[in-house]
Amino acid sequence: MIRFLFKGLLRDRSRSLLPVIVVALGVMITVFMQAYMDGVLGESTEKTASFSSGHLRVETKAYAENLSLMPNDLALTDANAIREYLEKNYPELNWTERIDFGGLLDVPDEQGVTRIQGNIVGKGIRLLHSDDEVERMELKPLLVKGRFPEKEGEMLLSDELFNRMNLQLNDPVTLISGTMYGEMAIYNFQVTGTLHFGVNILDKGMMIADIEDVRRALNMEDAAGGILGFFKTNVYNDKEAKSMAGAFNIAHAVPDDPFSPVMAVLSDDNLMGMSFTLINNISNFIIVIFLIAMSIVLWNAGLISGLRRYGEFGLRLAIGENKNEVYRSLLWEALLIGLAGSLIGIIAGLLVSWLLQTYGLDASSMMKDSNMMISNVIRARISPKTYYIGFIPGILATLIGAMLSGVGIYKRQTANLFKELEN
């Protein structure tokens, strides 16, 4: 039967070509939009993870409750021992210590008197003796001028702040901040290079130094604001992360101790959690809208085709077929059209998505004032879901359209169908 219907569709392209084109275009758009949203969400997720939250993050309970304040007086102590424990018990992740801090950057004149000051948000990472953090945060492509630190007392500064403070490479600057114990911290650095992040909030005043320098500056020996974990696959797995965090928090729960360690996951971040939910809702919305729109289009196409084919229906009834058999054949035709259109649409959608994934789209002009952790180059991301997502609306739409249009067969009297045959 299917072979017979397939040959019929090939012979009469007038009834198959338009539905196939409509389905293919719709599926192509669906596939591309899914890849585009995965790319945007993936980029935002990885940027947020690499710069701030990690895929998982261990910190004290009190620090987690005041995270936005960067309260280093509530930081983890015995950080090295905790990191070694995490490396032993969670080997599927790479673990690293971080310190976030705020303060003033003081630039002296030739007489050692303050010439200018600027607010900074600082980050202490493993910058010396290892390139792991540099690669994870993709800092090398961000270097505008100068070089990366090679020894103690050297640091990187956002290029915008560097220019605003009229600095020169290798100029001495003084960090003024607070120690872990609430005392004033004064520590001298040398600016060896500048970075352009493409994110407004970072470009205004970001400082990056080796974590050991930051520890000395803030009197945080063997302490850390947080210990971040990154999946070795470089892909965040929300289900696995939540499972790890749940087990860790049960094992280390100390209700009355604000300095007990707790583990949080990337999606616990309010912004990221909303992003995950928003992207999923948008994806589902697009599929539903496509399904409705395509069903209406295919319904109309089916009605027009059905009107042209009443003579054929009359002939098939005359040779002994009943209405149910005719109706089922229409559904089989719709299934074949849906499969063909979906396959073509998926291939086309994957091609467009691959082009955007490979070459990207420069959106720097639109992102210049952005505070979002997202690259200036927009890229799609092809995931396993991208390969099959188009089949769902493509096939369902054709079947629904066929079912709606096929109702006309039952509403039209058999006698009238025979009459159409005579005409």
Q: Label residue 242 by pLDDT band (50, 70, 90).
A: very high
Reported as a single tens digit per residue, the pLDDT across 307-363 is 555 555 555 555 656 667 767 777 777 778 878 888 999 999 999 999 998 888 876
> Can you name the residues that pair with 261 across neighbouring β-strands?
60
Q: Label residue 34 by pLDDT band (50, 70, 90).
A: confident
pLDDT for residue 298: 60
Distance CA 392, CA 397 (A): 8
- The residue behind tokens 């629904």 is 400
Q: Label residue 71 by pLDDT band (50, 70, 90).
A: very high
pLDDT for residue 107: 94
Distance CA 77, CA 106 (A): 29
| Residue 306 one-letter amino acid | G
Q: Whole-number mean pLDDT of the chain?
A: 81
Q: Label residue 406 by pLDDT band (50, 70, 90).
A: low
Distance CA 333, CA 299 (A): 14
Q: 217-238: string of b/e by CB count within 10 Å (b at 16+)?
A: bbbbeebbbbbbbbbeeeebee
Residue 377 vs residue 419, higher pLDDT? 377
pLDDT for residue 117: 94
Is the Cβ–Cβ distance between 175 and 186 less than 8 Å?
A: yes
Most confident of 10-19, 145-154, 373-382: 145-154
Percent above pLDDT 70 for the chain: 75
Residue 321 neighbours by CB under 8 Å, 6+ apart:
none
Helix axes 270-308, 323-359, angle to 10 degrees: 140
Domain boundaries, the chain: 2-47+273-422, 56-235
Percent above pLDDT 90 for the chain: 43
- The residue behind tokens 């915008």 is 160
| Residue 347 one-letter amino acid | I
Distance CA 121, CA 197 (A): 14
Q: Quick check: 181 pLDDT over 70? A: yes
pLDDT for residue 373: 56
Is the Cβ–Cβ distance between 337 and 24 less than 8 Å?
A: no
Distance set, CA 25 to CA 15, 29, 352, 385, 402 (Å): 17, 6, 12, 18, 18
Between 28-32, 113-117, 163-167, the lowest mean confidence (pLDDT) is in: 28-32
Q: Quick check: 150 pLDDT over 90? A: yes
SS3 sequence of the chain: CHHHHHHHHHHCHHHCHHHHHHHHHHHHHHHHHHHHHHHHHHHHHHHHHHHHHCCEEEEEHHHHHCHHHCCHHHCEECHHHHHHHHHHHCCCEEEEEEEEEEEEEEEECCCCCEEEEEEEEEEEECCCCCCHHHHHCCCHHHEEEECCCCCCCEEEEEHHHHHHCCCCCCCEEEEEEECCCCCEEEEEEEEEEEECCCCHHHHCCEEEEEHHHHHHHHCCCCEECEEEEEECCCCCCHHHHHHHHHHHHHHCCCCCCCCCEEEEEHHHCHHHHHHHHHHHHHHHHHHHHHHHHHHHHHHHHHHHHHHHCHHHHHHHHHCCCCHHHHHHHHHHHHHHHHHHHHHHHHHHHHHHHHHHHHHCEECHHHHCCCCCCCCCEECCCCCHHHHHCCHHHHHHHHHHHHHHHHHHHHHCCHHHHHHHHHC
Is the Cβ–Cβ distance between 181 and 219 less than 8 Å?
A: yes
Between 27-31, 43-47, 257-261, 314-318, the lowest mean confidence (pLDDT) is in: 314-318
Distance CA 308, CA 291 (A): 25
Give me the mean pLDDT over the 379-395 stretch. Answer: 80
Q: Which two tokens stand for residue 46?
A: 């990885």
Q: Which two tokens stand for residue 134?
A: 């540099």
Distance set, CA 185 to CA 143, 182, 219 (Å): 28, 9, 8
pLDDT for residue 9: 46
Q: What is the pTM of this model?
A: 0.69
CA torsion, points 294, 296, 297, 300, in degrees to nearest 10?
150
- The residue behind tokens 């990187």 is 156
Residue 209 vs residue 39, higher pLDDT? 209
Q: Quick check: 283 pLDDT over 70? A: no
pLDDT for residue 372: 52
Give me the mean pLDDT over the 90-119 stretch. Answer: 92
pLDDT for residue 6: 47
